[in-house]
Amino acid sequence: MTSDAEAAPDAAEGREPVLSVRDLKKYYFEQDSFLDSLLRRETQSVKAVDGISFDIQKGETLGLVGESGCGKSTTGETLLRLREATDGAIEFEGDDVLGMDRDELKAFRRRAQIVFQDPFSSLDPRMTIGDILVEPLKIHDLPAEVPSEQSKGEVRREKAKDYLERVGLSAGQIDRYPHEFSGGQRQRIGIARALMLEPEFIVLDEPVSALDVSVQAQVLNLLDDLQDEFGLTYLFIAHDLSVVRHICDRVAVMYLGNIVELGPTDDLFDDPKHPYTQALLDSVPRAAVEEQGRRVEPLPGDVPSPRNPPSGCRFRTRCPQVIPPKDVEIDQSTYREVMDLRDRIESNDLNLDTVWERADDENRSDKPAFKREFRAEFFAQGLSGENEATVERALDALAEDDHDRAAEILRERFASVCEQVRPVLQSGSHPAACHLYEQPERTEMAAEAPADD
Amino acid sequence: MSLSRFLLKRSLHGLFVVWGVITVVFGLRVIAPGDPANVLLPPNVDPEVRQQVIRELGLNEPLYVQYFEFVAGIPTGDLGLSLTTRTPVAARVLAKLPATLELAVAATVVAVIIAIPLGVISATRRHDPADYGATVFSLLGISTPNFWLGVMLIILFAVQLDMFPTSRRPVGFDTIVAQALALQFGSAWDALTTWLWHITLPAITLGTYFTALITRLTRSGMLDELGKTYVRASRAKGLPETLVRYKHVLRNTLIPVITVVGLQLGTLIGGAVITEAVFAWPGLGSLIINSFNARDWPVLQGSLIVVGAGFVVTNILVDAFYAYLNPQVTYD
Amino acid sequence: MADEILKVRDLKTRFFTEEGQVNAVEGVSFDVRDGEIYGIVGESGSGKSVTALSLIDLVESPGRVTSGEVWYRNTELAEEFRDENPEAVDGEFVDVRRLPKGVRRSLRGPSFSMIFQDPMSSFNPSLTVGEQIAEAVEVQRRARANPRRTRSRTQGYGLGKMLVDSLVPSKSYVQDASMDRAVELLEQVGIPDPVDRADEYPHQFSGGMLQRAMIAQALAGEPDVLVADEPTTALDVTIQAQILNLLRDLQRDEGMSVVMITHDLGVIARMCDRVGVMYAGEIVERGTLEDVFENPVHPYTQGLLGSIPDLADPAPRLQPIEGNVPSLIDSEMGDRCYFADRCPKAMEDCLQRIPEFDAEKAGASDDEHRVRCVLAERQYDESQALHDGHFEEQEVAADD
Amino acid sequence: MISPRTLRNLKKELSHSVLAKAGIVVVVFMVAMAIFAPLVAPYSPGQQNLDQAREPPLGFTTKETKEVTKTENGSVVIENGQVVTENQTVYNNATLAHPLGTDGNGRDILSRVIYGARTSMLVGLLGTALAALIGVTVGLSAGYYRGRVDDALMRTADIMLAFPSLILAVALVGVWGQAAFRIPDPFVATGFTEWWRGLVGLSAGPMPGDIVLPGTVIVVVALVNWVWFARVSRGEALSVREEEYVKAAKALGANDSRVLGRHVLPNAITPILVLATVQVAAIILLESALSFLGLSGASVSWGFDIALGRQYQSTSWWISAIPGIAIVLTVIGLNLVGDWLRDALDPGIDGEGGV
């Protein structure tokens, strides 16, 4: 969070990262009782985080931004082993975090801490502020030695008072209970608790999302000051892009368990590469008069379920720039319609009853009428040439209720590179995982592709 | 998950619970002190005869063989022989079952008919005399031991006022149905009134706790439900208050009520046992107490298994109704 | 210039809690015009949501709208009550608060409608979405068929029906025609496959889709005024953008007025023509978007704008408002500017009285930029400034 | 463990609610009666006096027709070599000596009710404590660790719930017999009783020297009712473990026992407390039902006395009625205290249990 932001990207290179994450995965398997497993054919997994890699440099603030369910909070908690990773590697200053045993993990906890989102749930309501702040010291039996004239308890309490003042509260409030404080004050206490062990690295999991804007600004300024004072490294998890822009040196954008773009803050905000980042930035309403009446082209639809994510590029089902095959000439909106149609056929989500109803044919024999109605419902404009012929053949198959063949016909002609190959982040300071940009060698990725199906 | 799948899952689960019940019941007999042969035989009997009886009962077999035979017999309806009467346990239990079912069903019906409207009135007219009345009633109801209530009802209505009989069940509901089916409506009517006359006090005795409990649950559940946002949203879209209350709120109130009622069915059956003891009602409860006093273990075991299985079956029905009211359960 | 559809005057809503009387809404006045989106912005506890509920008469115990007027332009009602209740009628306007209860209720749907922050809890979880929307249609259908009965408590929904309905999930209240209309409404708000979706339950919808359905439900009565209480707060930004587009399109197509209540200044900026800023139950500043955003006068508005990091133009350091949202308990409020204890420009004057709107003069156009602050009439005078720690001292004094 | 806010809520709710106050008064009264039984009971609960059998409580008179030996001038009339009998109307008047009347054997009902409170309270409190100990331990671990431990607990609970508690209790009593332990009554053993009774002028008659502890019944009610505690504490543990302060404690390096002891248990304790209050009531009801069926092994118990009164139900209603009223009062008192705790602390629990 150095205020001279332009220094950040260069500073990121050449230094040893504090934290380095490689291909981290976190899948949740639905907790089944033995009866469920008796009845269910296969266990479903939720791919909350699906192979992400990034580094965090000493003293920087890396932002992890994305919409709800993209896996950003899971990432934060998995980094600190509050959840067990499914696969991947995490290195903290050269130590293998995932391989740590109990004692090593306890030692690791002194160096890496976390601040949570909800100021009302993050403090134990049955403890006084003093108890809350002293608890970390008790757990680690700190300080190891105390001056002879003072007891350990006194030393700890002094330290708690000191940190309470450093986060902007008064030491006199130490014996109060959490409910006597406002949301912003409670968030300050949560920060003080994380600082008590004097960590080097803090995961800030949506630390200001639950706060009102005026209080949010206070806490952001505090975080800024503390970073300077203690030389902290932050992983700042948030969904609010304005806040991220304000506080972060570099930003990683997540979508459905993947990092889609990573770069220095100003680069990423001024020149977003990934279509998702572009859409995201475009969607944010700014508190400025220029915003009045601005109409954004929002992304269509909802984020797909992480239980069954799309193959290839996770974003392709909503992407406004899906890449058609090289030999197919088709405009983007029509291509989107064709792709949506195919997705629905493939996921068995296409109900032809209404179309037949509109075609006014109970016997389902009037195919031309069916195709006419179908086009009216699914295609805004006409198609032409070979595209038209392919769609026609697919509709014929649909009219005969042969969904598999229809999908097959469409797939043959319209299959996109976006659905076949999962794009990865390139090297460099501002990579984007998107086929619109140069991707590494194909052979490398082909090996990875089957895992997505 | 579809509804049928949900019910399949619940049934499998029920089967598991029944197995558990059978195992626990078998275990009870194993850890029980004393020798079943002693129940059958006079104390100083010839050891030869004694051994023969033990063989007959299968008690010389290893425990796992006994267990296996015990479990294997149950699906075929074989619950063993009564030690006292030497007749099949299953027959004895089945003979007593209708009386208990009549009592339990009568009590439940009375409870539901009284309790739900009472709870609704209490919740929608807070701080009204009706609310206080319902609150006092439900407090008394859940605090009164039903056997004592039965004794008091007998003293007041049977002994002092002579309005109802003190006990017994001269006619069963099956008789009424049989007569009605045989088109003997006159005698069916007589039988019905006799039946009603005899079942009134036991049903009140057994039903009071339940009525009170459901009233309480309905009241508190409805108050909770009325505070939810969708109630406000329903008002915002212009729905009349009656529609909001009864179509939306009451239905959602019943969902948790049903869960608790399902859990409390055991209480109902336990209550039936003691109610039967008070009113000399010839049902499963009387059978259990009698066989307990006679140390007739096979009958006691058989009754416990039937009661447990009955609880499981009723709970599956309750779950089905629950799923019907609450679409969320079948979609998780 | 468009005419006013709603004129709110000095609205006060109190909650009578065990801790004391809470002044959630403290004399709020504003106008909403035909076909505009009026924004009310404020932080949590500023009373903006209670204002919304007060407008459509949905404040529940222990809360009550204690005074104020809500003038609503409706010629039919004005005619009807001109003789019966002349106080409640002023030209084409009727004061909704002075109308009989049954009439007030009958206005929900065709006159006022509301959408809420959390769509998931705003739908009954155990009925299909289609049926719930159809109910809203059905109420209006029956109202047209029999206007008198609309104002009765039961609206012909009898005892037998309600018993059956409470046990049997049926659409017996809802007629097929209403169900069809519900499907049309779902289509209108951009829900794909409306026929199938109508038969699904709320938990089968995503948050964004359900908020669309909520909007469809609110449109069922073709309201004149739609009150939208934080309609996008629970949604992600890309979904928020969809919903905001939808709201604006509908507002334009249906010609209704929208009162947009939110804490998000960005949403206000994108959607609204005119805006009121709420703090501690009062509107402290109001005017056009330009007035309020470009030339804020009230220190609170200035602070609010200074607190938000700007996406396009990040400032190196934010300028937050110090302190916390004040208590709204009547006995603790006192007769002074409620913002004074957090105000960087507080002066002696601020403690003397509750500041009034500067331009409550006769004839002033409502377009005028109005501020509830002494600074609206005079310059900040450093010599009169309260010294640092003035309020802490008071607090200490009160504690002793 | 109890924060000032909790105490404030409790006080506030208490000041609002007449019922809560009444509940506390009743419960305190009953507990005091149980503790100080030998000091306040007019007679020993076992002391028979057949001459004064079936005396009604104060305010009532009963009339019954008795067959008595006919006497003339103080001597028995004999006709045809047989004692002549005649029907005579006998009035039973209440006396101050037995304000609640006497039972079929002429024992003082008031004394029996006072001593009966001991049995009920002992079983209620010890049974609940034991049930809570088992249930909370199992429930908290299951909810906190989830997985197989949880699965096993929930399945066991399902099986337990399939047995009606009364029937299971009957079966268990059948298995273990009706063991009862006798503990010397401290008041009597120290001679304090005698001194005190002399001081306040109560009949000096020897009071029972032992407190009867119905051991089997206590264990049985605990085994039957622990499931409710397990369910509630499991639910609490499940929700508390998702709280961010629990995650924070783990992030600080706290081990499981610290998290369970310092965070989960204190935050789960309120609903467990409410449940415990209601469970004392449920267990008192269960004990009285067992006694009514003659299965508890205690010779002085409210339920047992109700059963004893049944043979006189056509003439002497009070023998059954008065112990029952004592049960109802106690259970109402406990339920009111439970409601008070629930309203003040609002933990939202389900499952009450009962006979």
**Which sign, positive or negative, has the C-alpha torsion D293, D295, D299, D300?**
negative
Residue B64, pLDDT score: 85
Rounded mean pLDDT, D227-251: 92
Q: Is residue D351 part of a domain?
A: no
Q: Are C306 and A204 in contact (CB under 8 A)?
A: no
Tokens 């009712």 -> residue: D225
> Does B237 contact C113 at a Cβ distance shorter than 8 Å?
yes
Domain ranges of chain C: 127-222
What is d(CA B263, CA B318) in angstroms, rounded to the nearest whole number?
10
User: Per-residue pLDDT averaged across A326-338, rounded?
Assistant: 85
Q: How many residues does chain C have?
A: 400
User: Would the pLDDT of D27 be above 90?
Assistant: yes
> Closest Cα partner for A393 from A410, A381, A376, A378?
A410
φ and ψ at residue A75, rounded to 5 degrees: -60, -50
* Average pLDDT rounded to a whole number, residues D169-175: 84
Which candidate, A83, A246, A119, A126, places its Cα nearest to that of A192?
Answer: A119
Reported confidence tier of residue D67, pLDDT bands at 50, 70, 90: confident
pLDDT bin (cut points 50, 70, 90) of residue A442 is: low
Position B180 scores a pLDDT of 80
As a whole number of angstroms, the longest Cα–Cα distance in chain B is: 87
Task: With cut-offs at 50, 70 and 90, classify the pLDDT of residue A64.
Answer: very high
CB contact under 8 A, C263 and A213: yes
Please report residues of B whose CB lies closer than 8 A to that of A46. none
Q: Does C35 touch chain A (CB under 8 A)?
A: no
Whether C38 contacts C7, CB under 8 Å? no
Cα A14 versus chain centre, distance: 27
The predicted structure's pLDDT at residue B207 = 92
Quote the tokens at residue C272: 């609204």
Distance CA D55, CA D93 (A): 7
Residue A233 bridge partners (DSSP): A201
Q: Is B8 on the interface with A (CB under 8 A)?
A: yes
pLDDT at position D346 over 70 = no
Structure tokens that stand for A71 in this block: 């896996």
Q: What angle do CA C289, C292, C293 make, to 5 degrees?
A: 75
Kindly state the average pLDDT of the residues D349-355: 34
pLDDT at A448: 42
Helices assigned H by DSSP within A317-434 = 332-346, 353-358, 367-378, 385-399, 403-414, 417-420
E strand spans, D236-329: none
d(CA A202, CA A109): 10
Query: Residue D75's domain spans which residues?
Result: 60-93
C86 to each of C66, C83, C99, how far by Cα in Å?
Answer: 21, 6, 11
Q: Tell me, yes or no, if B236 comes closer than 8 A to chain C by beta carbon.
A: yes
Q: Other CB atoms closer than 10 Å to residue B233's CB: what's the count?
A: 26
Could you identify the residue written with the tokens 């009531």? D281
DSSP state at residue C329: B
- State whether D183 and D159 are in the same domain: yes
Instruction: Judge residue D66's burial from the number of C-beta atoms within 10 Å of its C-beta, 0-12 exposed, 13-18 middle, 19 or more buried.
Output: exposed
Query: Which of D170, D171, D332 is opposite residue B143, by nearest beta carbon?
Result: D332
Dihedral sign computed on CA atoms, order D197, D199, D202, D206:
positive
pLDDT tens, residue by residue, C292-331: 999 898 999 999 998 888 888 777 788 888 887 777 887 7
- Kindly tell me if the per-residue pLDDT of D42 is higher than 70: yes
Grouping H, G, I as helix, E, B as strand and the rest as coil, residue C7 is strand
Interface test with A, best of D245, D247, D267, D269 (most A CBs within 10 A): D245
Average pLDDT over residues A435-451: 58
| Interface contact A139-D266, CB threshold 8 A | no
Identify the CATH number of the domain in which residue D140 sits: 1.10.3720.10
Do D209 and D188 meet the contact criterion of CB atoms below 8 Å apart? Answer: yes
Task: Report the domain count for chain D.
Answer: 2
The whole-angstrom separation of Cα C43 and Cα C277 is 9
- pLDDT band for position D103 (cuts 50, 70, 90): confident
Interface confidence, given as ipTM, is 0.83
Chain A residue numbers touching C266 (CB-CB < 8 A): 284-287, 291
What are the boundaries of each domain within chain A? 1-93+235-311+426-453, 98-199, 332-415
pLDDT of residue B35: 65
D159, D324, D351: residue with CB nearest B21: D159
Q: Identify all chain A residues contacting C241, using CB atoms and an 8 Å cutoff.
A: 282-283, 285, 296, 298-299
| Cβ pair A279:C270 closer than 8 A | no
Given a contact cutoff of 8 angstroms between Cβ atoms, the answer to whether B83 and B89 are in contact is no
Q: What is the C-alpha separation between D207 and C226, in angstroms, rounded? A: 80
Q: Which residues of chain B have pLDDT under 50?
A: 332
Banded model confidence at residue D149, pLDDT cuts 50, 70, 90: confident
Distance CA A129, CA A127 (A): 6
Kindly state whether residues D120 and D175 are assigned to the same domain.
yes
Instruction: Give contacts of A 31-90 with B, CB under 8 A.
Output: 35-36, 38-39
Return the closest-CA partner of residue B195 out of B178, B208, B219. Answer: B178
Q: Of A6-10, B21-25, D5-9, D253-257, where does mean pLDDT reach its minimum?
A: A6-10
Residue A418 is classified by DSSP as H
**What is the rounded CA–CA span in Å between residue B216 and residue B119?**
6
Dist CA D134 CA A345 (whole Å):
55
Q: Is C213 left (phi over 0), alpha (psi -120 to 50) or beta?
A: alpha
Number of residues assigned to chain D = 355
Tell whether D179 and D70 lie within a shared domain: no
Q: What is the mean pLDDT of residues A96-108?
A: 93
* Of A270 and D354, more confident: A270
pLDDT at C363: 41
Domain shared by D109 and D20, yes or no:
yes
What number of other Cβ atoms are within 10 A of residue B331's Cβ? Answer: 12
The pLDDT value given to residue A410:
87
In the stretch 239-298 of chain B, residues with CB closer than 8 A to chain C read 239-243, 245-248, 250-252, 254-255
For residues D182 and D278, membership in a common domain is answered with: yes
Strand A17-29 with A87-92, pairing: antiparallel
**D250 inside domain:** yes
Chain D residues within 8 A of A160 when measuring between CB atoms: none
Specify the amino acid at residue A223: L
- Phi (first) and psi of residue A375, to 5 degrees: -60, -40
Helix axes D215-240, D109-145, angle to 10 degrees: 40
| A98-199: CATH, from 3.10.20.30, 3.40.50.300, 3.50.50.60, 3.30.70.100 | 3.40.50.300
* Calpha distance A253→A234 (Å, rounded): 16
Cβ–Cβ below 8 Å for B232 and C116: yes
Instruction: Please give the CATH topology (third level) of the domain spanning A1-93+235-311+426-453.
Output: Rossmann fold (3.40.50)
**Same-domain status, D142 and D192:** yes
Q: How far apart are CA C373 and CA C383, in angstroms?
A: 18
pLDDT above 50 for A46: yes
Phi–psi pair at A34, nearest 5 degrees: -65, -25
Which tokens in the block code for residue C397? 């004094």
Q: Which residues of chain C have pLDDT under 70?
A: 1-2, 148-172, 358-367, 386-400
Pairing of strands C282-288, C370-371: antiparallel
Confidence grade of residue A11 (pLDDT, cut at 50, 70, 90): very low
Low-confidence winner among A444-448, B208-212, D231-235 (lowest mean pLDDT): A444-448
In sequence order, the 6+-apart residues with CB closer than 8 A to the CB of D140 are D233, D234, D236, D237, D260, D264, D265, D268
Please answer whether residues A287 and C263 qualify as being in contact, where contact means their C-beta atoms are separated by less than 8 angstroms.
Answer: no
> Which domains are assigned to chain B?
3-76 (no CATH), 97-325 (1.10.3720.10)
Structural contact between residues A91 and A97, judged by C-beta atoms closer than 8 angstroms? yes
